[in-house]
Amino acid sequence: VLDGDEILYVAKRESPDPLRLTVEVGRRLPAHCTALGKAILGFRPAAETRRLFGRRKQLRRFTPDTITDPRELIEHLEGILRTGVAVDREELVPGLRCLAAPVLDFTGYAVAAISISAPAVTLSEERVAELRPMLMEAAGEISKALGGPGDPRRPAR
C-alpha cells in the first residue's frame, strides 16, 4: 500500500526458487523507484502524484536506472495507465526487477498493488510478457472483490 511517498509491505508470499528476494512485512521502500509504487501512483489522481513529487527538484537516486526527475516520473506513470502494469528495471537495487499491477477499489483508484520480484537474470522482458496477464488477472480478481474494475485499463471512474 502507499503511505505518503513510500510503499509499505502488508503481505508477502515467498518464491520456492532458491534465488529469491526477501522483503519483510512492514518494510518501507520509496514509491518512485519500485514497481509497486509506480503501479499505485499511476492509478491515483494525478494531483496527488504532483503533490507528492512535483515540488521536488530531484528524486533520490538508488541506481543509474532510477528516475530522478519528477516530471519524467509523472510522464512515466502515464504509460502505466495504458499498459495496466509497472516494471522496475533495476531502479532500486541493481540486479533486481519487479512487475506490479494495481488493485483498484470501487472508485477506480489504486488502493494497493501486487507484484512479482526476481533477479534480473530470471525476469527478462520475455518473462515479464509471460507473467503480465497472470498478474493482471490476479490483481483484477482482488479489485473486483473491492468493487473495482477487473481490468485497470478500463477504470470504473
DSSP 8-state class, residue 157: -
Confidence of residue 157 (pLDDT cuts 50, 70, 90): very low
Measured distance CA(152)–CA(109) in Å, rounded: 9
In this predicted model, what pLDDT tens digit does every residue of 81-114 receive, in sequence order?
888 899 999 999 999 999 999 999 998 899 999 9
DSSP state letters, 16-75 = SSSS-----TT-EEEGGGSHHHHHHHHTS-HHHHHHHHTT-S-PPPSSTT----HHHHHH
Question: What would the pLDDT profile of 49-74 be if each residue is shown by its tens digit?
Answer: 888 887 778 999 999 999 999 889 98
What pLDDT shows up at residue 24? 78
- Give the pLDDT of residue 151: 75
Confidence of residue 35 (pLDDT cuts 50, 70, 90): very high
Place of cell 499491477: 101
The average confidence (pLDDT) of the chain is 87
Closest CA to 86 of 135, 122, 130: 135
Residue type, 63: T
User: What pLDDT sits at residue 68?
Assistant: 93
